[in-house]
Chain A
């Protein structure tokens, strides 16, 4: 990444963060919740960008982790309502999906398992989890899901803590979480580990013959992304107010891939842009456009994949480089 593009990325990020933080003061409850949900879906998209965008691992069942995180948090927080449960539930919502990812990686990254089979394994798993969530009513509430998801309560001292219940509190909490996760992810992709991930995406066999244990790298990034997805799901559940089987669903899995593709792969910020624009757009336009909205998004996805394979951020990056080059020749 050139420095001009790098500056631009940070510019967009801090600008967006500042605008959102200011808007948070003006938003009514409806918008606070809508944008907070969109941000968490963006965080989920960030996790997909790490695996797919940076490392080239395409999973089309990534919602399994999001859903698993949401259910883990919801079930634990509902059944064990003691004051420190939020910490445990959030940790479990990270660890359980991560554990599942290790299992998938063990099967899916085995030598000779083609990428497409990996994608299909994840797809199948999504369907399985969705069915289980419908059938296992005692635990999951079945088709209706679980309502009254407890809000996160961060116990800081006996009898004293921070309850993240009001929409405005949730909004700022989510905003901070997303910013922190973004910065950590940014460190990851700009670190030496990140360059190996890119190498795996570009030519895994060559990376092996440079001496890198590519399976290990893939396993670890897949595990981290699964945990991050689960964590996003866990925070999403109380804001949505309901944890239902569609959180495991194929539609969400497909959508998150589209958000990343349209926003821009391997840009980190692209996932947020895609998720927020399209999710908020859907919420605002759904009444008017009904099911046409998904059709339009689908068409946009095809258009982007064919004409702008690097997505919106890819386009921005190209323009920035062109401008930088022009300034360079002038100077």
Chain B
């Protein structure tokens, strides 16, 4: 096993909401540079799992380690500082700020300063980084618009750019293609494959074609527990997985 290269490791992670086992005794491990997809029927606990990893929610039991350091008690912003960035299922941007300011704020975090004699525009490397990630997702021409003026597809791309602007080591993407058309989905797949290897990616996805296109390994979550884990081929051949998806009237492929 490549245990020494685990970037993220959850052990026995558990959070129940009343009687609902949203996430239950999940053991999960991700490798450095891996592109992993997290799939499962609606209500399987995928987003709750993300919220536990990023500190938006606190687990009732279990632990989370990032690069071998226990981060279970760390506050959300501290986890980001360690190198874990995320996007949100429902786009979560600074709607009234410009597209550029959205990414600039994310890039500025690496150069955080309390010196009020500095101008926001003369922090070394920040504006360059911001423009670089905007160009990466093809929004360079939209920089001066308020984020609220973007189309849904552009907002999803801006979320990607914001997430990358802080140079995270682990990127958690919650349904990056939700609501996108085929061309936009293909574009997102291309972008993610382009950074895979340099950044570790954990992607929640519903679009199975998209998952097949990008994933190296897949983890299937069902009713808060891990049902299966493996390569795309292994998962598609797994009878338990097929059963769950058929029961939920969702078909793989």
Contacts and interface: CB of A to CB of B under 8 A. Distances in A.
B108 interface: yes
A32 interface: no
B91 to A, nearest CB: 10
18 contacts: A184-B116, A188-B116, A191-B115, A191-B120, A192-B112, A192-B118, A192-B119, A192-B120, A193-B113, A198-B94, A203-B94, A205-B92, A208-B80, A209-B76, A209-B92, A210-B106, A211-B77, A211-B166
Interface of A: 184, 187-188, 190-196, 198-199, 202-203, 205-214
Interface string B141-161: 000000000000000000000
B116 A187 contact: yes
A198 B97 contact: yes
A47 to B, nearest CB: 16
Contacts of B112: 192, 196, 212
Contacts of A203: 92-95
Contact of B95 (A190, A193, A202): A202
Determine the main DSSP class of A at the interface with B. Answer: helix
Interface string B101-113: 1001110110111
A68 B96 CA distance: 36
Contacts of A193: 113-114, 116
Contact of A187 (B81, B96, B117): B117
Given A190-B120, A210-B106, 13 more contacts: A188-B116, A191-B115, A192-B113, A195-B104, A195-B120, A199-B94, A203-B93, A205-B92, A208-B76, A209-B76, A209-B85, A210-B109, A213-B77
A198 B104 CA distance: 13
B46 to A, nearest CB: 17
Interface residues on B, range: 20 to 34
A132 to B, nearest CB: 35
B162 interface: yes
B105 A210 contact: yes
A190 B77 contact: no
B209 interface: no
A211 B86 CA distance: 11
Contacts of A212: 77, 109, 112
B123 interface: yes
Contacts of A184: 116
Q: Shortest 7 CB-CB distances between A and B: which pairs?
A: A211-B80, A191-B116, A202-B94, A211-B109, A188-B116, A187-B116, A192-B120
Contact of B120 (A194, A206, A210): A194
B130 to A, nearest CB: 12
B176 to A, nearest CB: 15
A209 B224 CA distance: 24
B63 interface: no
A325 to B, nearest CB: 12
A205 B57 CA distance: 13
A192 B108 contact: yes
B72 interface: no
B51 to A, nearest CB: 11
A177 to B, nearest CB: 18
B54 interface: yes
- Most chain B CB neighbours (cut-off 10 Å) among A196, A202, A213: A202
B97 A192 contact: no
Given A203-B92, A211-B81, A195 B114 contact: no
B93 A191 contact: no
Contacts of B117: 187, 191
Contact of A192 (B75, B95, B123): B123
A206 B76 contact: no
A9 B54 CA distance: 41
Nearest to A2: B144
A10 B179 CA distance: 45
